[in-house]
Amino acid sequence: MNKKITKKFILDNFSKDEKKSSSEKISLGYPSYGWEEVYEALESMLEMKTTMGEKVKKFEKLFAKYVGVKYALMVNSGSSANLLALSILSNPILKNKRIKEDDEIITPAITWSTTVFPIVNIHAKPVFVDVDPKTYNIDTKEIEKAITRKTKAILPVHLLGNPCKMNEIRKIARRNNLYLIEDCCEALGAKIKNKRVGSFGDLGTFSFFISHHITTMEGGMLVTNNEVYYELGKSLRAHGWSRELKNKKQIEKKYPNINSNFLFSNLGYNLRPTEIQGGFGIHQIKKLGRFLSIRKSNASFWRKNLEKFSEYIELTDTKPGHSHANMLFAIKIKKNDYFSKDELVEYLENSGIETRPVMAGNFVLQPVTDMIQFKSLGKLKNSTDIMKNSFLIGNHQNIDLNGRQYVLERITKFIKSRTSR
């Protein structure tokens, strides 16, 4: 395939809307790929190399290096990364160290469904605790209160790209001999001092959904420094077979009458990504620094210029030494006599600015919890308050100077029109 000719063809036919002014519609997310990713995908398809292979391996190595861990395993979604993490820690190979049925895993009440469901899938019990009202992240004091003899793991979520207090949480986990799994699906690039999220726990998970910091269309990644978890993850990701394992020869010797390519040594799934996704990732990870810089600039601009309305709205805090990845931008409406959250949301939507709730809100209030066994600590007052009074707007690489100015102008116009009556 002639790269020069193909590049021209792709650029000539690429989305005509790509350069459209972002002030015409401020979406919650926007695809971040360009001609390089499209070329890589075409190359894989034309060469008939579409299932997981060398491009996936290359992306895994680049990603592990970026996060600062030894191992990375690409999967087909961030949800699958969470499922794989919990499946590793509950696997019989870990014997008496594994998470067993009815064991408890502490996680924040403000979360997303596929952080919770893998806990249920392995027959463990989610224990929901409240969040810090300033950061929306899990409250470390509540973690300590929730620990019982049945607690086996802590699963914090770096919500919206804002790092949790991982040094404190890691101390709690070590003191109580608990597993620590970081849900970093919204936090790629976030750091505490010079250490990236995903490198603090036993396992970390990431998502490459179309609207996230980088995209492989769909896709996710599991990271770890533990070779046992890495080897186990390779098997569980691909049907439970042994063909990719470091010790596959030893396993094959035990079962000489079974074809080594179809020797199933564990309970597995099909969570494999494609070469197309791996090819996307190779190029996307190189662009991540620029994407993060744009998101940071947008958030800083809004934060600085919305401070004057602190009587009516509240923005989230980032702890000292923490570097925010700015997945989305959160706004909380304080109790006032002039307007409600729903009124501001309706105004922004009518102005072409998309909004959404803060993830799934207080997950305990979701009807699906009628179908699962769970515990919650206290009344989860902060989580309910955030669910009721906060919302999110988009913050991504396609929001330019005009776009972020437009968002500010709309919010400013609404608040001034309501409060000057």
Question: pLDDT tens digits for 386-406?
Answer: 999 999 999 999 999 999 999
Distance CA 63, CA 172 (A): 28
Give the residue among 171, 177, 236, 170 at the shortest CA–CA distance from 197: 170
Domain layout of the chain by residue ranges: 35-280, 289-419
- Characterize 345-360 residue by residue with b for buried, 16 or more Cβ atoms within 10 angstroms of its Cβ, and e for exposed: bebbeebebebeebbb
CA distances from 93 to 120, 121, 208, 233 (A): 20, 18, 29, 12
> What angle, rounded to 10 degrees, do the helices at 78-89 and 113-121 form?
30
- Catalytic site residue from 212, 322, 324, 396: 212
Amino acid 4: pLDDT: 67
pLDDT in tens, 100-155: 999 999 999 999 999 999 999 999 999 999 999 999 999 999 999 999 999 999 99
Average pLDDT over residues 29-39: 90
Q: Which two tokens stand for residue 16?
A: 């005509």
- pLDDT of residue 22 exceeding 50: no
Architecture category of domain 35-280 in CATH: 3-Layer(aba) Sandwich (3.40)
What is the fold of 289-419? Answer: Aspartate Aminotransferase, domain 1 (3.90.1150)
What would the pLDDT profile of 49-73 be if each residue is shown by its tens digit?
A: 999 999 999 999 999 999 999 999 9
Common-topology check for domains 35-280 and 289-419:
no
CA–CA separation, 148 and 128 (whole Å) = 13
Closest by CA position to 390, among listed 321, 317, 338, 332 = 332
Catalytic residue status for 212: yes
Of 252, 242, 237, 305, the C-alpha closest to 75 is 237
Distances (CA, A) of 194 to 66, 67, 135, 321: 12, 11, 20, 9
pLDDT at residue 2, rounded to an integer: 67
- Note the helical H segments in 108-226: 113-121, 140-146, 166-175
